[in-house]
A and B are shown apart, each in its own frame.
Chain A
Amino acid sequence: MEARPLTLGAEESPWRRLRDAADRRPAATALILIGAAVLVMIGAKGLHAVAQGGLNGLSLGAIYALGAVGLTLVYGILRLVNFAHGDFLTFGAYMAYMVNVTWSLPLVAGIAFAMLATAVLAVFFELIMWGPMRARRAGLLQLLLMSIGLALVIRSALQYIWSTDIRLLDVNTTDTVGFLGLLIGRTQLIVIAVGVVVLVAIGLMLRQTLLGKRMRALADDLELAEVAGIDTRRVIAYTWLFAGALAGLAGVLSASITSLNPNFGFDLLLPIFAAVIMGGIGDAYGALAAGMLLGVITEWSVLFIDARWKIGVGFVVLIATLIIRPQGIFGKAKVV
């Protein structure tokens, strides 16, 4: 008898080969799929509606991306699922509120103060909580519950001072700018501009600077980075500074196009988690791209479903990603 190779028929089918090719180039596949979805949407709803939705989504996406990049780096480096990250956003927004409304200074000063204060807050907790806990080799659930405790502490402290009232930053919310037949709020446009500039700067920083490379090295494999002679404690402190400042910025940007209350950061946390997981947990570039994408998807969803369901889009994307592709849309297949 002639020996036949033990292959299953399915492995040779074109479908299987397509899947393998897709797995080898996840980013290209994602782009193709998104492009196809956009074309279908344009066909169904018209170019103008899709472009307007996408433009609206960019401001939300910038906020998600700014929040997600810090959260993903903290996860990658410390294996900490930081449930207090959303409350860093809230903290930043209230710091800006204090400068901008209570002291009547320009919003730019508020943004600068918010980023500084949130960065200091993040490093402070690294020094008194996370560093010592890491030294004790605390487990996953221990750190998870600590971060939930920290979230409650930050939120309740803000609530003690500023109560649960809904507050507004001193920004122009009525002016709109029109171009190419699209309409967008002036503040929203500024949010997009700031977001995009900062996101590009982060991308360059992570790629070009030594600190950025070290952060990514730590996020990839902390022990290997340590063996390679990187001063991990310094890099960890910088990562918290970085994550805190960006969370503060994201909080102010979000508050300037909507409003603030002590819960808003926590409400943003799960969509930000969705962006982190979509981008591949620990992957900073993935988080940037996925954050923008999620913001745009959320706005596009309004073309098809009632706007009151919009809040659920991030959650559904989160679950769908975890079921279909837990390593993230850009990640290579691996066990998670």
Chain B
Amino acid sequence: MPVADLLLPFGLTLDFFTDTGFWVGVGVLAGVYVLVALGLQLNVGFTGMTNFGAAGFMAVGAYAMAILVLKAGFSFWLSLPCAMLIAIGFGLLIGLPSLRLRADYFAIATIALAEIVRIIAQNARGLTGGNQGLFCAEGGAGACYNDAWTSLSSTIEGWFENLGWSDPEALAPLLLAVWLTVVLATLGLRFIQGSPWGRVLRAIREDEDAAEALGKNTLVHKLQSLAIAAAIGAMAGFFLALDLATVHPEDYEPLVTFFAYGVLVLGGLASYWGVLVGGVIFWAVLEGTRFVELPISETQIASIRFFIVGVVLILLMAFRPQGMFGKREEMVLGE
């Protein structure tokens, strides 16, 4: 379409705006990363803990859910709270030995623990399917962990049709579910942040020794912060597992945590709504690059996407470390 070619730079095509199915998929992914970043916001932005184990929380949640359904015969809906409890247990396991460490050691310890989870997922083949991962057989042969969700999803698709959306996208119900969860999680986090408990977290972020001197048990508060982030991370893991219809070790690499940090600092530290906006912009820009038609290979386009994330992280930290909506006076990036 020549008109579109005139209007849009870099050989963007009109598909950029009209490919609903594609953007619904991007919206699901953005929602997943917003959830992870919300947990990180609680840890990093409000408690001052440099948690780099977010991918581990997701992996534990997703694997626990899939294993409980596939190997232990749990129903899908029962597996969700159980998997969240397991993820919380993992969060506490991370926290107990490492929370007394300095921030830089804590960052390294958490990333290493998340990697240990991934290595276990890769190698404990009997339980996790190893490098094959846990996946749903083609053509619905045999039960799968997402059966219950698939039937609910088609019910929701029916509602969409009743509302006048003639041919709803297959991922639209998941998009609705993930963003509903995002909004509920944001409201919940904002509520507890305003409570006395939330104020103690802020006090720990500003000066842990002072909070301790005032008689607050800082270790317990930090563990609680980590436990909530683990529960939210597990939910993100559920949604990713439903989105991809497979649970695979490569989907929980440290890169996932780094991308979530990209969402977090783009939105801004110490701002929950900022994370939502950050997540949408981050993924819209990142996935929008798929429509840029350049005479280069698929791998090279993927490289450019990673390059952009890296440059954005560097420039944000150099020139606007508080992100879009963060408050300079609430910056915890200092020592």
Q: How far is the CB of B131 from chain A (nearest CB, A)?
A: 10
B4 within 8 A of partner (CB) = no
Which residues of chain B (278-335) have a CB below 8 Å from chain A?
297, 299-300, 302-307, 309-314, 316-318, 321, 331-335
Residues in A whose Cβ lies below 8 Å from that of B312: 149
A164 partner, pick from B105, B123, B299, beta carbons under 8 A: B299
CA gap between A155 and B254 in the complex, in Å: 14
Q: Is the CB of A336 within 8 A of B105?
A: yes
A142 within 8 A of partner (CB) = yes
A199 within 8 A of partner (CB) = no
Q: Is the CB of B123 within 8 A of A149?
A: no
Considering the complex, give the chain A residue whose CB is closest to the CB of B96: A323
B60 within 8 A of partner (CB) = no
Residues in A whose Cβ lies below 8 Å from that of B120: 312
A153 partner, pick from B107, B119, B305, B314, beta carbons under 8 A: B314
A141 within 8 A of partner (CB) = yes
CA gap between A94 and B31 in the complex, in Å: 37
Contact with B along A295-315 (1 / 0, CB 8 A): 000000000001011011001
Q: Is the CB of A156 within 8 A of B304?
A: yes
Considering the complex, give the chain B residue whose CB is closest to the CB of A312: B119
Given A309-B119, A315-B115, A315-B119, A140 and B104 touching (CB < 8 A)? yes
Residues in B whose Cβ lies below 8 Å from that of A270: 108, 111-112, 115
Considering the complex, give the chain B residue whose CB is closest to the CB of A157: B307
Given A149-B312, A309-B119, A309-B123, A144 and B101 touching (CB < 8 A)? no
A145 within 8 A of partner (CB) = yes
Q: Is the CB of B44 within 8 A of A141?
A: yes
Residues in A whose Cβ lies below 8 Å from that of B304: 156, 160
Contact with B along A116-143 (1 / 0, CB 8 A): 0000000000000100110001111111
Q: Is the CB of B116 within 8 A of A152?
A: no
Which residues of chain B (121-142) have a CB below 8 Å from chain A?
122-123
B9 within 8 A of partner (CB) = no
Q: Is the CB of A152 within 8 A of B309?
A: yes
B333 partner, pick from A81, A140, A315, beta carbons under 8 A: A140
Q: Is the CB of B109 within 8 A of A145?
A: no
Q: Is the CB of B311 within 8 A of A149?
A: yes
Number of interface residues of A (CB under 8 A): 47
Residues in B whose Cβ lies below 8 Å from that of A57: none
Q: How far is the CB of B121 from chain A (nearest CB, A)?
A: 11
Number of interface residues of B (CB under 8 A): 49
A151 within 8 A of partner (CB) = yes
Considering the complex, give the chain A residue whose CB is closest to the CB of B116: A315
Q: How far is the CB of A127 from chain B (nearest CB, A)?
A: 14
Considering the complex, give the chain B residue whose CB is closest to the CB of A79: B104
CA gap between A319 and B56 in the complex, in Å: 15
A159 partner, pick from B97, B102, B306, B309, beta carbons under 8 A: B306
Residues in A whose Cβ lies below 8 Å from that of B265: 145
Given A309-B123, A336-B101, A157 and B303 touching (CB < 8 A)? yes
CA gap between A137 and B333 in the complex, in Å: 11
Q: Is the CB of B98 within 8 A of A323?
A: yes
Given A315-B112, A315-B119, A326 and B105 touching (CB < 8 A)? yes
Residues in A whose Cβ lies below 8 Å from that of B113: 315, 319
A277 within 8 A of partner (CB) = yes
Residues in B whose Cβ lies below 8 Å from that of A336: 101-102, 105
B103 within 8 A of partner (CB) = yes
Residue in B109, B123, B299, B303 whose Cβ sees the most chain A Cβ within 10 Å: B303
Residues in B whose Cβ lies below 8 Å from that of A285: none
Q: Is the CB of A141 within 8 A of B310?
A: no
Q: How far is the CB of A261 from chain B (nearest CB, A)?
A: 12
Considering the complex, give the chain B residue whose CB is closest to the CB of A125: B314
Q: Is the CB of A160 within 8 A of B303?
A: yes
B153 within 8 A of partner (CB) = no
B33 within 8 A of partner (CB) = no
Residues in B whose Cβ lies below 8 Å from that of A101: none
Q: How far is the CB of B108 from chain A (nearest CB, A)?
A: 5
A189 within 8 A of partner (CB) = no
Q: Is the CB of B119 within 8 A of A160?
A: no
B145 within 8 A of partner (CB) = no
Q: Is the CB of B108 within 8 A of A277?
A: yes
B193 within 8 A of partner (CB) = no
Residues in A whose Cβ lies below 8 Å from that of B109: 318-319, 322
CA gap between A119 and B108 in the complex, in Å: 25
Q: Is the CB of B299 within 8 A of A159?
A: yes
CA gap between A129 and B312 in the complex, in Å: 14
Given A151-B310, A163-B297, A319-B112, A140 and B103 touching (CB < 8 A)? yes
B46 within 8 A of partner (CB) = no
Residues in B whose Cβ lies below 8 Å from that of A153: 307, 310-311, 314
Instruction: List, sorted by A's number, 14 A–B pairs whose CB atoms are closer than 8 Å.
Output: A81-B107, A129-B318, A138-B321, A140-B335, A141-B332, A143-B317, A148-B258, A148-B310, A149-B310, A152-B309, A157-B303, A157-B307, A160-B300, A273-B112
Closest 4 A-B residue pairs measured CB to CB? A149-B313, A152-B310, A156-B306, A153-B310
Interface, chain B (partner A; CB < 8 A): 44, 50, 97-98, 101-105, 107-109, 111-113, 115-116, 119-120, 122-123, 254, 258, 261, 265, 297, 299-300, 302-307, 309-314, 316-318, 321, 331-335
Known: A129-B314, A309-B123. 11 other contacts (CB 8 A): A138-B321, A139-B333, A146-B318, A156-B303, A160-B304, A163-B300, A270-B112, A315-B113, A315-B119, A316-B116, A319-B112
